[in-house]
Amino acid sequence: MTAILQGRTRRAALVGAMCALVVTGTGLTGCGSEDPDAGTNGVGKLPASTIQSKSRTAATSAEAVRLAGTVVSNGRTYKLDMRLKADGGTGSVTSQGAGFKLLRVGEHLFLKAGAEFWSHQGDKSDGTSADTAAADKLGGKYVKVPTGDPAYKRFISFTDKDVLLEGLLTLHGTLATDGHHEQSGVRTIRITGDKGAGGTLDVSLKGTPYPVLLVRAGGAGTLRLTDWGKGFALAEPAKDETVDYGRQLPTS
């Protein structure tokens, strides 16, 4: 009898170990009759459309978020690492090898980059270089972007939490769920548009159902969304760090 019990114990331990390996993989399939939604916020049991709706509500209601990854827009790839909240945002943007920092406080938008960036932006149509003295003046400073400048409209959306999330958190086509997963230690439920062709979105199964990972349709970028609700300091740069260009910025 003792030998039989010991055998059963060893088999149970082996099964438990195998279950652990499955659960810690990319997809959380569970083992045996285990409920993959046990101990979660329960959204994994809901229809895909409801999950998307709840994740949108959670995102809109959050005080702040950090958004990092890539966005492809109008044929250009932007690498973003932005922290956003209702009254502004701050972070970095890289596109076509050129990197710069963005800072918005209320309606005031600032752009900070090195002199090389400004020299390139100011290249003339005949191939000659822009005024290097002007580039040196702008380099390393926060340049206040005039509200009427084309650059203002182009870049302010990167600092606007509601506008950016509204444009990004959209899956196209018929929605469906695509199993339980894990992203950076967070258990998620994945929803897809047109079986992935319309994009995929992983939604947290812990606490508030925040969006965690977005893969946009058509290879238009991948974004991780973290630090939901974590506030951060946001203030205009000091005057000695700021240049008010006063007219339309150099164009690219």
Answer yes or no: is pLDDT of 137 > 90: no
202-228: average pLDDT: 96
Look up residue 51 and give its amino acid.
Answer: I
Answer yes or no: is pLDDT of 103 > 90: yes
- This prediction has a pTM of 0.78
Distance linking the first and last C-alpha atoms of the chain: 82
Task: Note whether 61 and 211 are within 8 A (CB).
Answer: no
109-135: average pLDDT: 68
- Residue 24: pLDDT band (50, 70, 90) is very low
Compute the Cα dihedral for 20, 23, 26, 32 and give only its sign.
positive
Which range has highest mean pLDDT (18-22, 97-101, 119-123)? 97-101
For residues 6-34, one letter each, b for 16 or more C-beta atoms within 10 angstroms of the residue's C-beta and e for the rest, the string is eeeeeeeeeeeeeeeeebeeeebeeeeee
Give me the pLDDT at residue 140, please: 87
Give me the pLDDT at residue 10, please: 57
Give me the pLDDT at residue 225, please: 97
Single out the residue of 66, 64, 98 nearest to residue 79, CA to CA. Answer: 98
Look at 180 and 27; give whichever has higher pLDDT. 180
Give me the pLDDT at residue 170, please: 86
Antiparallel, parallel or unpaired: β 242-244 and 142-144: parallel
Single out the residue of 24, 30, 48 nearest to residue 196, CA to CA. Answer: 48
167: Cβ contacts below 8 Å, ≥ 6 apart: 157
Where is average pLDDT lowest: 132-136, 180-184, 233-237, 244-248? 244-248
Give me the pLDDT at residue 21, please: 47
106: Cβ contacts below 8 Å, ≥ 6 apart: 87, 88
Give the neighbor-by-neighbor strand order of the sheet with 175-183: 175-183, 186-193, 200-204, 211-215, 222-226, 64-73, 76-85, 88-95, 98-105, 108-112, 142-144, 242-244
- Residue 4: pLDDT band (50, 70, 90) is very low
Tally the C-alpha atoms within 13 A of residue 144's C-alpha that lie toward its C-beta: 18
Look at 215 and 164; give whichever has higher pLDDT. 215
Percent of the chain exceeding pLDDT 70 equals 78
According to DSSP H, which parts of 62-192 are helical? Answer: 115-121, 132-138, 150-156, 161-168
Answer yes or no: is pLDDT of 71 > 80: yes
Count of all residues that appear for the chain in the document: 252
